[in-house]
Each structure stands twice: as structure tokens, then as C-alpha cells.
Amino acid sequence: MDIYIENEFFDAERTLTSGQCFRWRAFGNIFCGIADGKIIGVRNEEKGVTWIGAEPIELDFWTRYFDLALDYNEVNKCFADDNILSQAMDMSKGIRILRQEPFETLISFIISQNNNIPRITGIVERLCKCFGEKVTVPQTLLDKMNGVDFPPDWYSFPNAERLSALTEQDLEPLHAGFRARYIIDAAQKVHSGEVNLKQLDNPDLPYEEAKNVLKKIVGVGDKIADCTLLFAFHRLDAFPKDVWIKRIMAECYPNGLPDCCCGSYAGIAQQYLFEYARKTGVGKKK
């Protein structure tokens, strides 16, 4: 069935195409994606959002996934004094930081290194198609998609146990390049418990401590650890520095980032700046 949530600070298109997730697809004004083995459609309304094909019992799950409990209007006041951030906020209004599944987020951002978003998306899609499990699409969602070019088969993100049993050669169809061995190493360390993701789901765990756990994986450095902590564990104090952020730091903040980018909502500021840099092309040479 459908669930409607009133919330004026949620923009599905901006949130789901902002480079924090790689598994949502647009079909007209409906985004479809999978989390927790469930597929739903997400459609923005005048003053809220509808989850198509979601069950009432899943209300808390999706509310948490889309971070609808946090008052972003309040958070944004932290950034109002900064000129660049104010502009960035205007063009990113309605973006939220998702709470994605940890293993999926970890692997996705391992794949992201020295890579671009369209290609990351393709590799993640092939990973799910090859090693995930088929997900049943609810009839309510299928009905809405009648007449749309909607894929018949959807696959979950494979778990650590599944991937830990594979070899680099098994991953060749993904065309992940040098990242294949990083994926295997991550899956093995997560599955063995050497990297305990459940332990990281604890806001009281000191940030650097959590980060060092993730960095035990070969191919996980500061940036990927930061992204995993931000987009899966909702550590809003994370501030991942990718090439876009480095450009904007060099171009717009030669004397350093404002304090609000080091505080408890640094990750939200980071996401605004990331979008600003990508949309305006700040610092990028042509």
C-alpha cells in the first residue's frame, strides 16, 4: 500500500541523485529503490512524500532511512552566516543524509574511489544482479508502473557472507578494476567479524575509533571511512573530502573552512558544498 508523510523539507530527486546512494532509479516522478530487502517507490507531493508499496509496519524503517525526524530547517541555521554555504543550501534545499545499510555503503564507496558516479552506479548494479537475490515487487508499485519501462527483476545488495565466498576472478563481470580485491577483503573482514559493523552503530563511539575500524580494510582510507560513517551510520560530524570538496576549499575557502564545517553537522554542510561544487563547476578547469 502507500504511506504519505507530510514533510516540506524532503526532496526525493535531490536526495537520491546526490551521490550518497547508487541504487535508486527514476521513473518519471517516482524513484524506486531497495533497502532492507524491500523495494518501494518514492514520490514527492506538494507538501510531503508518498512511499508507494510500503507497509505500515515499515513506517519507522523508512522514516529512519530518509532521516525525516531531523529538523533540517533548524540545522541549516548553523550555516546561514556563510555566504557560499547559504547559496549551496538554496540549491540543495530538501537534501537529507540517508541512513543506508552499512555493508552496502562500505562496498559502494570502496567502488567509488578514483571513479565517477555513473560508472560507480553501473558496477554496483552489476554486483547486485550477479550476487544479490531477487526482490518481489509489491503489486501496488507494479500497478503504478503500468506502461512505464520498468525492469521486471530487482535484486538486493549481496551480504558479506555471500561476497566473502567469492574470488577476485568471480568479480570480473563487474569491471571494477583494481577495486575487486578491496571488495573481497572488505567482505571477508566483515564476515569474519574482524571488522564489526554492528559495533560501529553507536553514536557514543569516538569518531576516530570508528574510523580506524573501517580502515583495517585494504582499500579503505580516510575518505571512504568518512563516507561510510556519514551515509550509513549517520555520523553527521563526518566531513569527507573528495576532489570536489578539495576544489571548493581551494577556490572559496583559502583561509580554511568555517567552524560549522567542523561541528556536529559538518556532514550536512559537506553535502551542500559537494552539490554546489558539482552544479557550479567551481574550480574545475575546462
Q: Catalytic: 223?
A: yes
Which residues bind to DNA, rule: CB under 7 A?
18-20, 109, 112-120, 175-178, 215, 217-225, 227, 240, 242-245, 270-271, 274, 278, 284-285
Q: Is the dihedral of CA 88, 90, 91, 97 positive or negative?
A: positive
Catalytic residue, chosen from 93, 129, 215, 223, is 223
Query: Which residue from 242, 226, 230, 237 is spatially nearest to 266, judged by alpha carbons?
Result: 237
Whose Cβ is closer to DNA: residue 184's or residue 225's? 225
Q: Which H or E element spans position 90? A: helix 83-91
Q: Give CA–CA dist 146/144, Å, rounded.
A: 6
Residue 67: CB minimum distance to DNA, A: 14
Q: What is the DSSP letter of 68?
A: T
Q: Give CA–CA dist 243/258, Å, rounded.
A: 19
**Contact (CB, 8 A) for 18 and 271:** yes
Whose Cβ is closer to DNA: residue 141's or residue 273's? 273
Q: Give CA–CA dist 10/29, Å, rounded.
A: 14
Non-local CB neighbours of 80 within 8 Å, separated by 6+ positions: 86
Non-local CB neighbours of 254 within 8 Å, separated by 6+ positions: none
Whose Cβ is closer to DNA: residue 54's or residue 200's? 200
Q: Give CA–CA dist 163/180, Å, rounded.
A: 11
Residue 242: CB minimum distance to DNA, A: 4
Whose Cβ is closer to DNA: residue 21's or residue 160's? 21
Residue 241: CB minimum distance to DNA, A: 7
Q: Within 13 Å and on the Cβ side, how many CA atoms surround 240?
A: 27
Whose Cβ is closer to DNA: residue 151's or residue 281's? 281
**Contact (CB, 8 A) for 228 and 112:** no
Residue 213: CB minimum distance to DNA, A: 13
Active site residues: 223
